[in-house]
Amino acid sequence: MAGTDEEAVAAADDALYVLTAVLLTPAKFPSVLGDDYPEACAALGMAPLADGYGLVLGQDGDGARWTVVIDDVSLVAVAIASWDCGMEYDLSPDERTVVAALPGWPLAVAVAAPNVPPPHDPEPEIADGPALTPPDTSVWGPAQRRLGADEIALQWATWREQIDDTEFATPGGASAVASGAGESSEPDDSSVPAEGASTADAGEAGAEGSDTNVASDSSASAGADQHTNAEQGEPSESGQGGHSGILRVLAEARAYVESPPPLGRVRSSFAPGDARTLRADGPGWSLVARTDDIAFVLLDDEPGEVLPVGRGPELPGLLEALDKMAVRPL
């Protein structure tokens, strides 16, 4: 974690006491800010440069919140990697790399600089425009939905062990996993959820994962009162005809393969073995999957619910195609 008196950069004519930093690149950006890289950049008023930015969040000597945008992405990446390993790293960007000093923080931060007043927005007369504020995650919506998908990607094993493959519905009553591995050009009934899960089941969702010191909100805060269908003793709402929301997501994800979406809307990252972890977002939905396993879908229309998607004959080919066109960390 950063946040010592020695870690300061020049910004807004004052010293900035660094608290944390995040990447803003096509392959790695705070998804709470948008479904894709251009949308996340627009939330900060920045142009979506191909190489991306590093965001340095801290306080000035008066305790005011500032976000310093720099173009030295490698410097921020090294700092984050060092902090993740429990190592100290003096993140002190050269003034020549500073692109902008923005008032406020676009993400919630759980720590504060020592020996300065509590965090607060800069006074309007010294701020060039309105202060940045974190997206509202107190109620279910796009930001909360994306946070939930990020948490599933980080805690895949925890979520995966809750799913019984034999409970995926298929027209013939067989397990979706055993129903084949080929790709279909149309949505298949085997790619439907088994028993719905709630985002409350795996605890709190991290705002942007373990590589930052950004504070986390529970991805289930808006849906904590919802329970799995199994807990309620009810059958899956999808039945054998397929969940309409999941069929729509699969169709829109398939369209990405034919017509590439905005940069960063489909991202591929490391997973154990030869697999990859996929994250995809679209209007009203988020998808997280392992290329060698199943997928999970979250929908704006179903607060707090996590819908597992069986392997089936369609999903493997779709995930492979998405992985080929996804952006990857350098």
The pLDDT score that the predictor gives to residue 199 is 55
The pLDDT score that the predictor gives to residue 49 is 95
Instruction: Give the chain's residues under pLDDT 50.
Output: 1-13, 169-195, 200-241
- The reported pTM is 0.76
Q: What is the 3-state secondary structure (H, E, C) of the chain?
A: CCCCCCCEEEECCEEEEEEEEEEECCCCCCHHHCCCHHHHHHHCCCCCCCCCEEEEEEECCCCEEEEEEECCHHHHHHHHHHHHCCCCCCCCCCHHHEEEEEEECCCCECCCCCCCCCCECCCCCCCCCCCECCCCCCCCCHHHHHHHHHHHHHCHHHHHCCCCHHHCCCCCCCCCCCCCCCCCCCCCCCCCCCCCEEHHHHCCCCCCCCCCCECCCCCCCCCCCCCCHHHHCCCCCCCCCCCHHHHHHHHHHHHHHHCCCCCCCEEEEECCCCCEEEEEEECCEEEEEECCCCEEEEECCCCCEEEEECCCCCHHHHHHHHHHHCECCC
The pLDDT score that the predictor gives to residue 138 is 85
pLDDT tens by residue, 223-273:
333 333 322 222 234 433 468 999 999 999 999 999 999 999 999 999 999
Contact between residue 124 and residue 207 where contact means Cβ atoms under 8 Å apart? no
C-alpha to C-alpha distance for 202 and 182, rounded to whole angstroms: 32
The pLDDT score that the predictor gives to residue 14 is 60
